[in-house]
Amino acid sequence: MLLQQLINGISVGGIYALLATGYALIYSLLGFSNWAHGEVAMLGAYIGILSVTSLQMPFLFAVILAVVGAGLISVFNEKIAYKRIRDNNSPTMFLMIAAMGLSTTFQNMAIVVFGPKFKMFPQILPVGAVKIGSLSVGLLDLVSLGIVIVVIIGLQYLITKTKFGLAVKAASSNMGTASLLGINVDKYIMLVFFLAGSLAGISGVLYGMKYTVYPQLGNVALKAFIASVFGGLGSVQGAIVGAMGIGLLETLVSAYIHSGLRDLITFILLIAILLFRPTGLMGKDIQDKA
């Protein structure tokens, strides 16, 4: 029973991890919490489900469209709102306020355009479970976990082994110095937003397949934000660890205590982290960040 719950927790935590890494990437560069990130995931889920149901696209093409679409929406947010604030040398708090405005705008836009009702992905995978010894793992959970693992490994390679990762690390350390060294900071900020949005698109589709798609789906990103704080804001590795921890915690609380206490205990954990270890497990000093 415990092993079964651990597998379920890792599956949910993996979806949180895709969102949390997007938070971490943007925070590491611009030093603010992108509250519109969850709504990018929500819009990615809607692109995916409408591509399958309305446009009758093959599922794989629908997922690609959702991922690319979410990435472009994220870039749109940066170009329309965040870049102008940065160019004006405004306080970092203004970026967070703009993100809150975008979040509310996208939620209300989704209600008007798509309607307030819950939507379900059509059955893509056969309903059933895979037996692993005495364990029974849902096929959708297993596929989701496999996708998450592949994406996270690819992301880690991109950050640690490529020129892109090196440039992002340089820009996150000191944008002025990075610019003097010939790094096009604006270009890499745009690429980071596209990457973060694409990860949000994947997580939105996976979350929508596991549960449903609805205008407030982006609120799940709050769990990803807690995971980022737990792991350490600005740390991609910390975000992954924190997301897995949150997924496991929620699953175990639901299974062994009460499902109604799941969110309560998660937020108690957030408060405890902020009080006793505000830098998180693997983060840097965040006292001047918003």
The 10s digit of each residue's pLDDT in 253-287 is: 988 888 888 888 888 888 888 888 877 777 655 44
- Over residues 169-195, the mean pLDDT reads 90
> Is residue 288 very low, low, confident or very high in pLDDT (cuts 50, 70, 90)?
very low
**Confidence tier at 128 by pLDDT (50, 70, 90):** low
Compute the average pLDDT of residues 182-195.
93
Give residue 263's pLDDT: 85
Q: Looking at the domain assignment, is residue 280 inside a domain?
A: no
Q: Which residue has the higher pLDDT, 210 or 7?
A: 210
Q: How many domains does the chain have?
A: 1
Q: Which residue has the higher pLDDT, 271 or 138?
A: 271
Q: What is the pLDDT of residue 279?
A: 79
Residue that the structure tokens 């983060």 belong to:
283
State the chain's mean pLDDT as an integer.
88
For residue 283, is it within any domain? Answer: no
**253: in domain:** no
Residue 286 has a pLDDT of 46
Q: What is the pLDDT of residue 283?
A: 61
Decide if 160 is inside a domain: yes
Please tell me what DSSP assigns to residue 10: H
Flag whether 227 is in a domain.
no
Residue 163 has pLDDT above 70, yes or no: yes
Find where tokens 């708090």 sit. Answer: 93
Is the CB of residue 45 less than 8 Å from the CB of residue 66? Answer: yes
pLDDT confidence band for 290 (50 / 70 / 90): very low
Q: Using one digit for the tens of pLDDT, what is the confidence trace for 81-117?
A: 999 998 888 888 899 999 999 999 999 999 999 999 9
pTM greater than 0.85: yes
Radius of gyration of the chain (CA): 19
What are the contacts of 95-101 at 24+ separation with CB within 8 A? Answer: 95/30, 95/32, 95/290, 96/32, 96/33, 96/35, 96/290, 99/32, 99/33, 99/34, 99/35, 99/36, 99/37, 100/35, 100/36
Within a domain: residue 284? no
The model's pLDDT over 24-42, given as tens digits with 9 standing for 90+, comes to 899 988 888 899 999 999 9
pLDDT at 29: 87
Partners of 119 in beta bridges: 213
- Which residue range forms the structural domain that includes residue 114? 13-220
Question: Is 270 inside a domain boundary?
Answer: no
User: What is the rounded average pLDDT of the residues 56-79?
Assistant: 95
Q: How far is CA 85 from the centre of its chain?
A: 23
21 within some domain = yes
